[in-house]
Homo-oligomer: A and B are copies of this chain.
Amino acid sequence: MPSAVVLLSGGLDSAVVLAIANSQGFKAHALTVAYGQRHAVELEASKKVARALGAASHQTIAIPLDTFGGSALTDDIDVPLDRPAEAMEAEIPVTYVPARNTVFLSLALAYAETKAAHDLFLGVNAVDYSGYPDCRPEFLRAFEDLANLATKAGVEGARFRIHAPLVKLSKAEIIRHGLDLGVDFSLTHSCYAPSPLGKVCGRCDSCLIRARAFAEIGLIDPAQQ
């Protein structure tokens, strides 16, 4: 079985991606980046998801991106609540973390090289992507080009592949796909503004996108029940 590195956040999307990597016959090494997000509940969720889906290994690396600032996900900035879908699509939100996916993929690439893995999986999505520039297919292609130039493995002839199997799916399609693969969404956590005890708010962009998508397929989000 070839090895792959799967970026695992603890959220809904990356849980489905881990299940997909498994289903494609990869030995999936999950990598969680603790980037100074305010909510440790995400890290707990990533551990539960990795265990439930039988990842070959699960490594967490702490990167204090909060020392740089510039995002509602690392700083003390209020996240917007109760926004309609149109408002979410109109601009890059305050939850944008500067160059986050570039940093995450770089770390995944470093980790992959030590595992002799050439396949990197991540759960970005260009449909419900809320305007994040580093979720676009052209960004992913540029990173693939970079990976082959950046590494000893690339110089020696390996070809890295960035797998973003959700990039063109709607959130409802992602959920359906995850249900087919046996993902337990009650273990996942996506809320931008949970309570101090980790209870989801149900009102931030992320909670609303999940709730609407589950409703679309006639279900209630098990993480918001």
Contact = CB atoms under 8 A, between A and B. Distances in A.
Contacts of A61: 63-64, 67-68
Q: How many copies does the complex hold?
A: 2
B114 A133 contact: no
A196 to B, nearest CB: 27
Interface string A79-118: 0000000000000100011111111011101110110000
Contacts of A100: 110
Contacts of A155: 92, 133
Interface string A109-144: 111011000000000000000000110101100110
Contacts of A195: none
Nearest to A114: B70
Interface residues of A, number: 43
A40 interface: no
Nearest to A145: B142
Interface string A41-81: 00000000000000000010111110111100000000000
Contacts of A102: 106, 109-110, 146-147, 150-151
